[in-house]
Amino acid sequence: MPLDPAQRHQIEQDALTAAWEADRLAACDDAIALLREIADLEPNDDGDVVIGTDADGHSDLLSRIAAFLATNDK
């Protein structure tokens, strides 16, 4: 028995919503991973945590945060 147009439309909308929610959950998982990395950084001699650079002085974390935001800014 074929679906009527309203049922078909609702199924399509449900599929789109599920895909969007899965994408948002994956983005949240990625954000949590970045925040955990920030929380694990060692403080400097003044007790401050510098999130702009890694132990070698490279700004990898900030570039990763910027890339994350660029990818997930919807």
Please list the pLDDT of the chain residue by residue as tens digits (74 residues): 788 999 999 999 999 999 999 998 998 888 888 888 777 777 778 877 766 666 666 667 777 777 888 887 76
What's the total number of domains in the chain? Answer: 1
Which amino acid would we find at residue 23?
D
For tokens 């400097």, name the residue.
44
Residue 35, domain extent: 5-72
Report yes or no on whether pTM surpasses 0.85.
no
- First CA to last CA across the chain, in angstroms? 38
Question: Which alpha helices (DSSP H) does the chain contain, by range?
Answer: 5-39, 60-72
